[in-house]
Amino acid sequence: MEKQARIYVAGHRGMVGSAIIRKLQEEGYTTIITRTSSELDLRNQEAVADFFEQERPEYVFLAAAKVGGIMANNTYRAEFLYDNLMIESNIIHQAYKTGVKKLLFLGSSCIYPKLAPQPLKEEYLLSGFLESTNEPYAIAKITGIKLCEAYRSQYGCDFISAMPTNLYGPNDNYDLNGSHVLPALIRKFHEAKINNQPTVEVWGTGSPMREFLHADDLADACFFLMEHYNGELFVNIGTGEDVTIKQVAELIKEIVGFEGELRWNTDKPDGTPRKLMDVSRLHDMGWKHTTELKEGLERTYQDFLANEVLYVE
């Protein structure tokens, strides 16, 4: 990407989009195009078409999405399917219509079948049934992958896709009704510490295994792929390492300094038993993460403390 290129980051205020902007600025890119959701409803086809005609971006990072944890995914199933389908369809189509040079679509590791072999290889897509709690979101993300493949096949568009593992970092969502496991645990342990509570409730059994990638590492990988990759097959982005929910809960407890006990609510769902990405293709290209989990969580907790008023209001 040329340093003066017009680059549109969709979803720039979210955890992923804001990390991509930090990376682009760090690399010296000066013409970064953004719109808030109040300025541009990405579900509105006409509004997105007008935006692309007006701004004419040359490169697009498609990080905008309706996201959430198990509870939010399972409760707002129609919204997670509809909103994400509309967002990605509108942006990908207008990128084609206005001649965008390259687009990167970001999906999620939940696209893989619930009981797929571990670690998850890219070729396992559509090889089995999805996890039921987040099936609508997964189907929307699979559709995004297939849209990029179809526009590449039919029109020759340089549209690529990347599937990140579970993410954490600055600008995460700490709403306990809609957040993912790491921000939820950070907030729970912090508030329990401040309020001198004897216990913290954690959902499930603690046995599921999860892989976690810092958002800044993801942004670095996205920039790397935009610069070096133009293949049809989507690319996994992760660390290739996983831990149990119990292990990560105890790590966050230690970092926050909560001295009480964990109480496991086994009436709540565990979700997929394991989701470890096979990142050998990305490693073979020459990219590897640099932020280890403990360091990343320590930085994330410091960011939470610095922005607590914004994150929990």
Catalytic residue among 8, 137, 229, 311: 137
Q: Is 167 annotated as a binding residue?
A: yes
Q: Is 11 annotated as a binding residue?
A: yes
Q: Is 180 annotated as a binding residue?
A: yes
Q: Is 270 annotated as a binding residue?
A: yes
Q: Is 109 annotated as a binding residue?
A: yes
Q: Is 210 annotated as a binding residue?
A: yes
The answer to whether residue 151 is catalytic is no
- Contact in structure between 7 and 24 (CB atoms under 8 Å): yes
Regarding beta strands 102-106 and 159-164, do their DSSP bridges make them parallel or antiparallel, or are they unpaired?
A: parallel
Asked, as a colleague might, if the bond just before 170 is cis with ω within 30 of 0, I would say no
Q: Is 107 annotated as a binding residue?
A: yes
Q: Is 42 annotated as a binding residue?
A: no
Q: Is 17 annotated as a binding residue?
A: yes
Query: Which amino acids are annotated as binding site, given as ranges?
Result: 11-17, 106-109, 141, 164-167, 180, 188, 203, 210, 270
> What are the residue numbers of the active site?
137
Query: Which amino acids are annotated as binding site for NADP(+), given as ranges?
Result: 11-17, 106-109, 141, 164-167, 180
Query: Which amino acids are annotated as binding site for substrate, given as ranges?
Result: 188, 203, 210, 270
